[in-house]
Chains A and B, each alone.
Chain A
């Protein structure tokens, strides 16, 4: 149980284009979803927390107009990197939590999406 999927797993795009990454909880309803990014050999860095049906809460230093997050349902959250630039190249990981209603605040991670911006 507690499976989280991400799509796509790897994307290469040109500078200036937008990229959408999907995160789905497959066998549970996720009250809260999280988006992280990770640079090589570094720790996970939380970008934002999103609750279904409300606006995401962004961490300090993360541009909300650049990283658009939509948590439209209890099983789907999307991260759109707008006008991507090479410095946005990174490994983006989502996680989902069933929340107290689901019996656990544990975060379950998706497999990650590797974004390369040329």
Chain B
């Protein structure tokens, strides 16, 4: 059965800290891994990763995929209170079905 596992489930850090969120996957015919940020409303897209070892970066956020070890990490440097959210990762599969295999999410709380 396809599955995506995120860790930790929840994380509380102080503003300015750097955090690393983990996502491991077991997805048959894996195509790509997606990261989303969900605050009070619907998820917002962060990154799509398809190739191993190529870091994607957006401001203080960066992410990388390891297709050999079947995991991805999302790094946030110099965290701010606005980074508080649930971070979701999801795997996609190589066929005509666009369904996402979701992880349960990591709840990140940034304390001022």
A and B from one assembly? yes
A-side residues, CB < 8 A to B, are 2, 6, 32, 34, 43-44, 46, 49, 93, 95, 97, 99, 104-112
In contact, B98 and A43 (Cβ under 8 angstroms): no
Q: Other CB < 8 Å A-B pairs besides A2-B45, A6-B42, A93-B42, 8 of them?
A: A32-B98, A34-B98, A34-B99, A46-B99, A49-B98, A104-B48, A105-B98, A111-B42
Interface residues on chain B, number (Cβ under 8 Å): 19
Given contacts A104-B48, A106-B48, whether A44 and B43 have CB atoms under 8 Å apart is yes
Interface presence of B58 (CB below 8 A): no
Of A44, A49, A108, A112, the contact of B45 (CB 8 Å cutoff): A108
Of B34, B36, B41, the contact of A111 (CB 8 Å cutoff): B41
What A residues does B102 contact at CB under 8 A?
A: 43-44
- Inter-chain contact total with CB atoms closer than 8 Å: 45
The CA-CA distance from A62 to B89 in the complex, in Å, is 24
What B residues does A44 contact at CB under 8 A?
A: 43, 88, 102
Main secondary structure of the interface of A (DSSP, over half): strand
In contact, B41 and A97 (Cβ under 8 angstroms): no
What A residues does B44 contact at CB under 8 A?
A: 109
B-side residues, CB < 8 A to A, are 31-32, 34, 36, 41-45, 48, 88, 92, 97-100, 102, 104-105
Of B31, B36, B97, the contact of A109 (CB 8 Å cutoff): B36
In contact, A43 and B48 (Cβ under 8 angstroms): no
In contact, A46 and B100 (Cβ under 8 angstroms): yes
The CA-CA distance from A112 to B36 in the complex, in Å, is 15
In contact, A107 and B98 (Cβ under 8 angstroms): yes
The CA-CA distance from A43 to B48 in the complex, in Å, is 20
The closest CB in chain B to the CB of A34 belongs to: B98
What A residues does B45 contact at CB under 8 A?
A: 2, 106-109
In contact, B42 and A49 (Cβ under 8 angstroms): no
In contact, B42 and A105 (Cβ under 8 angstroms): no
The closest CB in chain A to the CB of B103 belongs to: A43
